[in-house]
Amino acid sequence: MKIGIAGLGLIGGSLAKAYKLDNHTVLGYDINTDTLSFAMLSKTIDGILDQTSLASCDCVLIALTPNAALSYLKENAPFFKPQQLVIDCCGIKVPVCKTGFALAEKYGFTFIGGHPMAGTQYSGFKNSRPDMFKGATMAIVPPVYDDIALLEHVKQMLLPAKFGKFTVWTAEKHDEIIAYTSQLAHIVSNAYMKSPTAREHKGLSAGSYKDLTRVAYLNPPMWTELFIENKQNILRELDCIIDALSEYKNAIENENSTELERLLAEGKNLKQEVDKIGKGTR
């Protein structure tokens, strides 16, 4: 199999390494020429992905930020071959899928929205690794929800990444849910670090601090773009958590132990309920 990967950062670099480990041919593109050169020297990629080599690939994976992915699609759509599978890996889906589906219809290739649900707080090719996606979920947004043959084709093309599960979404529902499960978590983690106490915690922090602050170490330009593009969903989730925090604050301020205990029990019970649903017991 020959795979083209546009963008060789954490996600694209990890995909490239996974495909190479599985003995496939990988062509790569990155706007950073140093990254591209290092990927070639390290034999992570076998050649350059450009408009002359795009059509030779069985599948093209676009691992760029949303705006860069949109530009890449618009510039290269005429060079994809008919029925060629093109999958983006952006953290939001509505704007990318809208453009991707329209261009695919115009030029005859097959576009699938994708979001690998894996990563680290670190970015860049140097932090990529071939087992990044092993056992992880791959969320996909197909142009037709119930095309079983297409979904199977997508799974086969992505087999070297060793995803553990595939879930199918509409672009709108994906962006609504991801605002809560990922984007809000990054904002809360980042804001949490702004307490003056953050500079004094050494020796008095353990697992809870590490868990909450892990993703505060983020890529500011990339996450800024994601937050703005998913503005309405993010604002809804921010309003929700601000309202909830206000309830805790008021209970503590008024020394209302009955209300505080109720709030804490409510959160605990919701966590237990959600975990049961996640395990398929309900």
Please state, in angstroms and rounded to a whole number, the distance separating the CA atoms of residues 238 and 190: 13
- Smallest CA-to-CA distance from 128 within 270, 269, 28, 235 is with 28
Secondary structure (DSSP) of 150-188: HHHHHHHHTGGGT-SEEEE--HHHHHHHHIIIIIHHHHH
Give domain 174-278's CATH superfamily: 6-phosphogluconate dehydrogenase C-terminal like domain (1.10.3660.10)
Class level of CATH domain 2-169: alpha beta
Please state, in angstroms and rounded to a whole number, the distance separating the CA atoms of residues 267 and 133: 31
Residues with Cβ within 8 Å of 182's Cβ and at least 6 positions away in sequence, in order, are: 91
The arithmetic mean of pLDDT across residues 175-184, rounded, is: 97
Domain ranges in the chain are 2-169, 174-278
Token couple for 278: 């996640």
Please state, in angstroms and rounded to a whole number, the distance separating the CA atoms of residues 48 and 26: 9
Residue percentage of the chain with pLDDT more than 70? 98
Q: Please, is 220 exposed, middle or buried when counting C-beta atoms within 10 Å of its C-beta (0-12, 13-18, 19+)?
A: exposed
Would you state the pLDDT for residue 201?
82
Would you state the pLDDT for residue 279?
67
pTM greater than 0.85 (yes/no):
yes
User: Please, which pLDDT band fits residue 278 given cuts at 50, 70 and 90?
Assistant: low
